[in-house]
Amino acid sequence: MTPHIDFTQSASRHNPFVLPEGYLAGVTTCIMQRISRMEQPDGRNMRIVRWIPLCGAAAVAALFVVFAAFTRADEPGASLATGRQEAITTATHEYAEADYTYDYFMTDGTIAVLDYNSNE
């Protein structure tokens, strides 16, 4: 037997949906807590966000240094400067050897030229 429903009936109808006991008080608290959490800035994220510009600046600076080093190595004057540096290094090394020789012979580094033609 099909149950009959009068759709024109205007009397209040039984509500089959049950509201769990204490639900409304709980849901108000829950909603307000969610809103409170939403309103608080996330401290951890803020710390990370604060570091982002510094990290970016450091990365750019590092890239600039690397780029500049490569650019200078390619410049024509760079080989001349490098050659000059090598010459200075070689000369310094030779002077060091000479000093060692002078020390060995216990001389003062001046070369005495014996003039055999002199009467002295």
Partner 1 sequence: MPPQNELLRIESLRNAATRTAAFEQLVKEFSPWLYMQIRRIVQFHDDADDVLQNTFIKAWQGLDAFRGDSQLSTWLYRIAINESLAFLARNKSMQSLDDVDGEPIRTLESDPYFDGDATELMLQQAIATLPEKQRIVFNLKYFEEMKYEDMSHLLGTSVGALKASYHLAVKKIEDFFNAHD
The structure tokens 């070689």 sit at 90
Q: Which is nearer to partner 1, 28 or 82 (CB)?
A: 28
Exposure b/e, 84-99, CB count within 10 A at least 16 = b: eeeeeeeeeeeeeeee
| Residue 102, burial from CB neighbour count under 10 angstroms (0-12, 13-18, 19+) | middle
Say if residues 115 and 109 touch (Cβ distance below 8 Å).
no
Q: Is 23 in the site for partner 1 (CB under 8 A)?
A: yes
Q: Is 30 in the site for partner 1 (CB under 8 A)?
A: yes
Distance of alpha carbon 120 from alpha carbon 106, whole angstroms: 24
Stretch that binds partner 1, among 32-40, 44-52, 73-81, 86-94 (CB under 8 A): 32-40
Q: Site for partner 1 (CB under 8 A): which residue of 10, 45, 110, 118? A: 10
- Nearest distance in Å: CB 6, partner 1: 10
Total number of residues that touch partner 1 (CB under 8 A): 25
- Nearest distance in Å: CB 35, partner 1: 5
Q: Which residues bind partner 1 (CB under 8 A)?
A: 1-3, 5, 7, 10, 12-20, 23-24, 27-28, 30-32, 34-35, 38
